[in-house]
Structure 1
Amino acid sequence: MELRHLRYFIAVAELRSVRAASEHLHVTQPAISRQIQDLEEAIGATLFERTPRGLKLTPAGIAYLSEARDILARVDAANRLAHRIASGVQGRLRVGFVENASWSGLVSSALSAFQHSASDVALELQPMNTPEQLDAIAAERLDGGFCYRFGALPDGFASVPLLEQTVVLAVPEQCALGKNGAVSASELSGLPFIAFPRHVYAAYYDRLISACAERGLTLDIRQEASTETAILSLVAAGVGAALINAANRERPPARVRFVDIDDLSVRLPLEFCYLAQHGNATLQRFIDLLTAHGNVKP
């Protein structure tokens, strides 16, 4: 049995005529009659009886008509759903992000624009640091992520470069350093610092320590915390200073000041990373939006 058997049957049942169904479907009458006969043989029941006023459904035919309509409706719905998913306008997209990347600007604008253009996509956002995101993408627990990348991507990955940040000095509000403007690296010597443990993101940690060493600065790290939120809370408590992503300027915490360092710069390139061979139309739709990010107003 094929779907055309059901379509022919429904047309004949609704129009009560093989001739009328033939004209409606643009199929010859003998072909329709043969398909109806094949259907009845396959079912083992007579679906129509002839009357002077045309074809009439038998009790079996009445019951079969309701089920046939339901089957075709479900097939049509499945076809529409498959098309929407294949077009990237429906489905699920799992995206990781480093929290400070989403405070404002391109990332938040891109997410907002995507939700507006693909409202039937279930967008799942998961805050993670960069190494966690790369591991989750490789394991296919994430479709992609906004990462600060240092060094080469793992094999099989691709990325869309987005923007670049640098580091800024965060000091307790009551600290006198930097109240008159930018400072130099040499002025930071002797300050107690709060930093990430190296294992959180070794590549970034090493880049930061190396940049400081190039300016003759050895950080006196008194305390470690695994997130910038925790680091800034310790700065606010007066525990020490910190070198953090300048993106944090967008959400300055109470009792913390940000100070520029005029001779110390650490490139923080933000990229959207994903598996190059993904086959996910929803992800591709998002990548296309990011690639054309000039149209996404921060």
Structure 2
Amino acid sequence: MRLEWLDDLIAIMDSATLSEAAQRRHLTQPAFSRRIRTIEAAVGIDLLDRSRKPVRLTPSAGAHEARIRDIAQALRVLRDELGRGDTRSREIVFASQHAISTAIAPRLVCAITDSLDVRVRLRSANHDDCYSLLLTRKADIALLFQLDDEPLEHHGQLVESHRLARDPLVPVIAPEHRQTFQRQTRQGVLRIIGYPREVFLGEVLHRVLKPQLDPSLTVLCVAETALTTAALEFSLAGAGLAWVPLSLASKALATGELVRLDPEFPLVSMCVSALRTTRGNSSSIDSAWKLLTAGDTRPNEVDS
């Protein structure tokens, strides 16, 4: 059984549809379906129950989910160690959301490299992709936002998490554009910078923030971006009100380039958490995790 075949099966386990699983594997759905049939031909049994919508693994294949994940993880660790010799044991790969990569990760990385003889690679992606990188062992530690009242979904005992710092999502605008913005709001129009619904902060915006807004206001999304850094720049330019992590906005708030508009508009309580898989970690990863969870390398709690 090839490692990539196991990863294909894991993608199906972690996805709601076959199309989503194909996207995780960076394949078109027809190409992904052909590869699944190749795996089935190799093992001599059907692995998908195609009578169901959406298509899922057969009960007999699904019963081996934990074993498939363990074997894939072990093979990946072995491949890395054989391919890189001792280098891999001294390298740590972080996957973090874009805002965390900009505002928080640099301090964490510096603290770790100052204390340990390791090399760090930082991969920046959206929330779900970071989690996928962690589960597929393409990242050793993930740095993710989570809502204070909603725990992260874990895959059984495969993943552990640790809260690092509070980092609320706050409404900000450039002070020179505040009067214009407030005049438009009094006229019943709320101009905002939005996030696509399929990304984490887009889901927060639609599910958590919008229900708290004055229902008499017409919400006008003047610009949409998946990047919080871009949302920050849009707000600085006067395009509208942006909700961004406080850690990202802190410098502009300190210099007066931005002002906060809470409690006039709601903020969202969030925190930054570190996650790692619980098995197959190198000694360097274990040491870095101890530093993160001990508090010495943790970012300061952001004062909301």
Give the TM-score taking structure 1 as reference length: 0.58
Cα deviations by residue, 1:90-145 (Å, 9 ceiling, x for unpaired): 5110012234335566x5443222101213x1211122222221011111111112
CA contact (8 A) 1:232 1:256 kept: no
Q: 2:108: which partner in 1?
A: 110
Report whether the alignment pairs 1:224 with 2:245: no
The answer to whether the aligner puts 1:148 opposite 2:145 as a matched pair is: yes
CA distance in 2, matches of 1:287, 1:191: 43
**Contact 2:165 2:298 survives alignment (8 Å):** no
Indicate how the Cα distance of structure 1 residues 297 and 126 shifts in structure 2: closer, same or farther if over 3 A, else same: closer
Identity %: 14
Partner of 1:57: none
CA distance in 2, matches of 1:169, 1:191: 12
Report the CA distance between 1:239 and its aligned residue. Answer: 2.3
Partner Cα separation in structure 1 for residue 113 and residue 163 of structure 2: 21
- Retained in 1: the 8 A contact 2:134–2:141? yes
Conservation of the 8 A alpha-carbon contact between 2:108 and 2:297: no
Q: CA RMSD for the aligned pairs?
A: 3.4
- AA aligned opposite 2:172: A
Q: 1:280 is matched with which residue? A: 282
TM-score of the two chains, using structure 2 as the length reference: 0.57
Q: Report the counterpart of residue 55 of structure 1 in structure 2.
A: none
The structure-2 alpha-carbon separation of the partners of 1:188 and 1:276, relative to structure 1 and needing over 3 Å to count, comes to farther
Distance 1:161 1:94 in 2: 19
Q: Which amino acid aligns with 2:99?
A: N
Q: 1:295 to 1:248 in 2, by over 3 A?
A: closer
Structure 1: 5+ residue stretches without partners: 1-81
Which aligned pairs between 1:126-205 and structure 2 lie closer than 5 A?
Answer: 126-150=123-147, 151=150, 152-155=152-155, 156-177=158-179, 190-201=189-200, 204-205=201-202
- Give 1:174 deviation, angstroms: 2.1
Compute the displacement of 1:149 (Å). 2.3
The amino acid of 1:291's aligned partner reads T
Take 2:269 and 2:234, find their aligned partners in 1: how far apart are those partners? 24
Q: Distance in 1 between matches of 2:238 and 2:226?
A: 18
Measure, in 2, the Cα distance between the counterparts of 1:103 and 1:187.
Answer: 35
Structure 1 position 236 matched with structure 2 position 233: no
CA distance in 2, matches of 1:266, 1:138: 27
Aligned partner of 1:247: which letter?
S
Please say which structure displays the higher CA radius of gyration: 1
Change (3 A) 1:178 1:273: farther
The answer to whether the 8 Å contact 1:130/1:149 transfers is no
CA 276–236 in structure 1, closer or farther in 2 if over 3 Å, else same: same
- Measure how far apart 1:297 and its partner are: 7.6
Aligned length: 205
- 1:266 is matched with 268
The CA deviation string for residues 135-159 of structure 1, in whole angstroms up to 9 with x for no partner, is 1111111111211024432302211
What does 1:24-173 align with in structure 2 at a 5 Å threshold?
A: 91-102=90-101, 107-119=105-117, 121-150=118-147, 151=150, 152-155=152-155, 156-173=158-175
